[in-house]
Amino acid sequence: MAGREGLERYEAGLKALRPADREAIIARLELQQSYEEVAIALGKPTADAARMAVKRAVKALMLAMAQP
């Protein structure tokens, strides 16, 4: 049961994010793309810029998932 509830919270959290944040999370966490690949997908200039975008997106996801 807890796994299903966690997945539902994750999906609801994703829906609450900006599209760019959602894309960053899906590319990195679900598709397991490298930061170089994420940079290309997001149109970021470097892999480091993509890493920072993913970091911000994950933080936003965690906040969204914490909402009741």
pLDDT given for residue 48 in this prediction: 98
Q: What is the pLDDT of residues 15-39, one digit of tens each?
A: 999 999 999 999 999 999 999 999 9
Whether 44 has a pLDDT exceeding 80, the answer reads yes
First to last CA, the chain: 18
Is the model's pLDDT at 66 over the cut of 80? yes
Task: Enumerate the H helices of 1-68 as residue ranges.
Answer: 2-16, 19-25, 35-42, 47-66
Q: What is the pLDDT of residue 2?
A: 67
pLDDT at 68 over 80: no
In whole angstroms, how far apart are CA 54 and each of 3, 14, 15, 29, 35? 23, 13, 16, 9, 9
